């Protein structure tokens, strides 16, 4: 067996809004190109399939030190991840992520949102964040915070109509994301208020 390469260190996960990336520190060998390969192991593999590991072909022999593992982290169970270095002639031991990764720990950010007063119509535009995301939108007439309305929005491909406003009144909106598969919500976005027609329409 050729002299072993040092295995990759500082292996960690960056997970935001259900998009998961494995990163690690580069292994540097003077005058050689070092490539990396990544494998994953779900709870099923540990408990039912002899602790087998599954290669991620998009991250086989890559030079980058990051791998998008979103496609493979597709269940709310504990995953193991590992990466090794390879120069062609020499190869490292596997470096394994310390602890498991479960997508339930992803960080959820408030959704980007744009509130529009279109005449008497209160509209909101939300960014499509992927199939796992729904949006809980709260809206109310300014000053009547105790009488908030809410709407659950699944399809954000088009502008969402929230309400018909009274002329000249101000209406406010805030939204949060909800991910059913992990049963968690983000914090709310900044509140945005607009004024209905029949008064100067401005962003307050």
Partner 1 sequence: SVTEIRSGFTAIKANIQARDPIRTLSILSHPQSLHKVKSSDRCCIIHNLFNFYMDKVFKHCQTEDSYINRKISSIANSFLSIKKKLEQCHNQNKCLCGQESTEKFKQILANYEGLNITSAAIKSLGELDILLDWMEKSR
Partners of 81 in beta bridges: 40
Region near partner 1 per CB under 8 A, out of 21-29, 69-77, 137-145, 195-203: 69-77
Cα 145 off chain centre by: 30
Write down the least CB distance from residue 57 to partner 1, Å: 5
- Can you tell me which of 71, 89, 98, 190 binds partner 1, judged by CB under 8 A? 71
The smaller minimum CB distance to partner 1, of residues 18 and 116, is found at 18
55 contacts 39 by C-beta, under 8 angstroms: yes
Q: Which residues within the stretch 173-202 sit at the binding site for partner 1 (CB under 8 A)?
A: 180-181
- Can you tell me which of 29, 49, 148, 167 binds partner 1, judged by CB under 8 A? 49
- Can you tell me which of 45, 86, 118, 163 binds partner 1, judged by CB under 8 A? 45
Region near partner 1 per CB under 8 A, out of 26-34, 73-81, 149-157, 194-202: 73-81
- Can you tell me which of 18, 27, 34, 56 binds partner 1, judged by CB under 8 A? 56
With helix as H, strand as E and coil as C, how does 144-179 read? Answer: CHHHCEEEEECCCCCCEEEEECCCCCEEEEEEEEEE
Q: Tokens 């390969």 identify what position? A: 37
105 binds partner 1 (CB under 8 A): no
- Can you tell me which of 72, 106, 171, 189 binds partner 1, judged by CB under 8 A? 72
The smaller minimum CB distance to partner 1, of residues 79 and 135, is found at 79
150 binds partner 1 (CB under 8 A): no
- Taking phi over 0 as left and psi of -120 to 50 as alpha, with beta for the rest, 50 belongs to left
3-state class (DSSP) for residue 45: helix
Nearest to 160 by CA among 188, 193, 128, 183: 128
Q: Tokens 């909800």 identify what position? A: 178
- CA torsion 100→102→105→107, rounded to 10°? 110
Q: Which residues bind partner 1 (CB under 8 A)?
A: 40, 42-45, 47-49, 54-57, 71-72, 74-77, 79, 131, 180-181
């Amino acid at each position: 067996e050729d002299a072993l390469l040092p295995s990759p260190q500082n292996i960690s996960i960056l997970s935001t809004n259900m998009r998961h990336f494995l990163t690690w520190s580069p292994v540097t060998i003077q005058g050689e190109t070092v490539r990396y390969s990544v494998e994953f192991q779900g709870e099923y593999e540990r408990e039912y399939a002899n602790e087998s590991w599954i290669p991620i072909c998009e991250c086989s022999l890559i030079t980058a030190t990051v791998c998008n593992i979103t496609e493979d982290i597709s269940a709310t169970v504990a995953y193991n991840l590992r990466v090794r270095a390879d120069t062609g002639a020499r190869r490292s031991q596997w470096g394994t992520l310390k602890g498991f990764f479960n997508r339930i720990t992803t960080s959820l950010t408030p959704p980007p949102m744009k509130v529009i007063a279109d005449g008497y119509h209160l509209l909101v535009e939300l960014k499509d964040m992927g199939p796992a995301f729904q949006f809980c939108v709260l809206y109310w007439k300014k000053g009547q915070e105790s009488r908030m309305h809410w709407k659950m929005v699944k399809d954000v491909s088009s502008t969402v109509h929230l309400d018909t406003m009274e002329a000249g009144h101000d209406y406010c909106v805030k939204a949060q994301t909800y991910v059913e598969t992990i049963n968690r919500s983000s914090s709310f976005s900044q509140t945005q208020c607009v004024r209905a027609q029949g008064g100067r329409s401005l962003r307050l």
